Structure 1
């Protein structure tokens, strides 16, 4: 099995293709704890990507956000094949 490639997936309220941000393991753990609250409150937060970049995200514009594995071939919300 391939090494996991964690990513933050954001679906914007305005529609369009989802935004994908590759993450490292440490950032994934931190986001796992706070992602629900960030979306519920519409907070602005910074996320550090796997390549070391820092991205500011305004969660007030996000309709759905979740952590996923980029190695996974097919994903339907909550169902992984």
Structure 2
């Protein structure tokens, strides 16, 4: 069976969900940066410079998941039981 790492034993379930939500928000910000860099890139007709990653979709999905996890966990993590 999988066991939690020892450094996470201090955390309640609400704290762990808040950490997961913050991780998704960070991933969403990285996807936003990737989308911005792609849009600012010079247009080159060579086939080897073409890259396609759905940055907007990744951003939206991660932002919704992260926001939902944070919204569910923060009241418990802040105010306790």
| TM-score bin, normalised by smaller chain | under 0.3
Give the TM-score normalised by structure 2. 0.24
* TM-score normalized by the length of structure 1: 0.24
More helix by share: 2
Structure with greater proportional strand content: 1
